[in-house]
Chain A
Amino acid sequence: MLPVSEAVAATPLAPRLTHVDRVERETADTVTLHVSAVDTELPPFAPGQFDMLSALGVGEVPISVSGDPDDRVTRQYTIRAVGAVTRALTSLRPGGVMGVRGPYGHPWPVEAAVGADVVVVAGGLGLAPLRPAIHHLLAHRDRYGRISILYGARSPDELLFADEMQRWQSDVDVAVTVDAPSAPGKAIPPWDGRVGVVTTLIPDALFDPHRATALVCGPEVMMRFTARALADQGVTGERVYVSLERSMACGVGLCGHCQLGPFFVCVDGPVLRHGLVGPWLAVREL
């Protein structure tokens, strides 16, 4: 019998086994898993790429890496329990085992943005795929102009990485808003910050619209309105990048599950220029 590492090399679609080292609860239904490979290091990833995670005996799901791309030992995934596979993954405890294959897909254009202002716009769980890009921007702060992180969430108790965001504020501009500061019958931490949709943060953000690169991730409706609000400020779709989510099976452009017009989101995305993919997002039934 082949050792696991050789078996993986022989069959590139086979997942590597990983241990869960730590589980951080982010919100009531969302956790961040810190995992490391059982027998070998996981291959490095670029900000914005995703892995196919397998809950053993349940199924496989694409999840963007949410940790620091410079961390070569531990991989982080921020996962919300919304279906059978993600429920199984979010139920894992330290010592639990899961499968990982990847990384896959096109990353955020952090190199192409060097020298320019960067606007990061995240909605809800969309902050997770952007977090590696934020780590990268902060680690190379002197290579970029102004950096603005604009984050919108449903309510204060659904804000991700709140402590970390406080630390980001010392190096970059951070603005946060929630849709609902309170909810009947729900204990929500007191909120004295902004209330409204994330696009309302854009006019106040400091960036040169003619040179800025925008990285946007969140629900598709939110990204559509964000691209429009950025365009109102003068940021064209050629410099607005979105990370798309589509049903995926293979992750490598073979099965066609994630096809969007001429694109396979798994290999052409998940990060795509809005100027390129925007018209396809407007096509109904796709």
Chain B
Amino acid sequence: MMTSHLLALHPFVADLTSEQIVTLSTCATAVRFAPGALIFREGETADACYLVRAGQVALQLHAPDGPLVVETLTGEHVLGWSWLVPPHRWRFDAVAVDDVDAISLDAGCLRRLLGDDPALHAVVSRQLLAIVSDRLEHTRVRLLDVYGHHHAAGV
């Protein structure tokens, strides 16, 4: 368990009440990953939600030629939502690109708290949905390949 003060600084909990933050802090641990460290691996149990405070993380998929980086996340962000969605398995690898400071929220503890407190569940779910929505938008824009030739005026 960590102090709720540190947790309260993360934007993910901006919409939570002080009491909810204190409650959430019972699931929280401060963690640090060195550059190159594997934070989680595709297929393994999604046992945590990471509130990254600083540092860059590469989300990647393993391929025969080596890892394929799907996206990099930087600054204060939320890493991982597979802990919320059955079967609770990571869908990607996450690797620290540089020094990463994060708050790890234990997935079992978190699911239990959300089950006990529908109001907390609603706020956390809304926050996660906003993040998923942003990342989906980014992915769709990349799929458009807006820098590709087919978008250039053919003069």
Contacts and interface: CB of A to CB of B under 8 A. Distances in A.
Interface stretch (B18-26, B117-125, B146-154): B146-154
A61 interface: yes
9 contacts: A80-B152, A85-B155, A181-B68, A194-B56, A196-B71, A196-B73, A199-B141, A200-B138, A247-B153
A154 B138 contact: no
A245 B73 CA distance: 31
Contacts of B142: 179-180, 196-197
Contacts of B153: 82-83, 245, 247
Interface in A190-235: 191-197, 199-200, 203-204, 218-219, 221-222, 225
Contacts of B69: 181-182, 191, 195
Interface string A231-247: 00000000000000101
Nearest to A63: B155
Contacts of B70: 195
A154 B155 contact: no
Given A80-B152, A83-B153, A83-B154, A195 B58 contact: yes
What range describes how many residues of A lie at the interface?
35 or more
B152 A225 contact: no
B145 A197 contact: no
Contact-residue size bin, chain B (C-beta under 8 Å from the other chain):
20 to 34
A179 B137 CA distance: 13
B151 A219 contact: yes
A59 interface: yes
A47 interface: no
A83 B141 contact: no
Contacts of A84: 155
A86 to B, nearest CB: 6
Nearest to B148: A154
- Tell me the interface secondary structure of chain A in the complex: mixed
B98 to A, nearest CB: 10
Contact of B138 (A180, A193, A199, A221): A199
Contact of B145 (A85, A154, A196): A154
A82 B147 contact: no
Nearest to B68: A182
Interface of A: 29, 59, 61, 80, 82-86, 123-125, 152-154, 158, 177, 179-182, 191-197, 199-200, 203-204, 218-219, 221-222, 225, 245, 247
Given A195-B58, A219-B146, A222-B146, A204 B75 contact: yes
Contacts of A29: 149
Contacts of B73: 196
Contacts of B97: 192
Interface in B5-62: 56, 58
B74 interface: yes
Contacts of A225: 137, 141
Contact of A123 (B146, B149, B155): B146
B3 interface: no
B155 A59 contact: yes
Contacts of B58: 195
Of listed B65, B144, B152, residue having the most chain A CB within 10 A: B152
A84 B58 CA distance: 41
Contacts of A196: 71-73, 138, 142
Contacts of B137: 225
Given A61-B155, A82-B154, A225-B141, A195 B146 contact: no
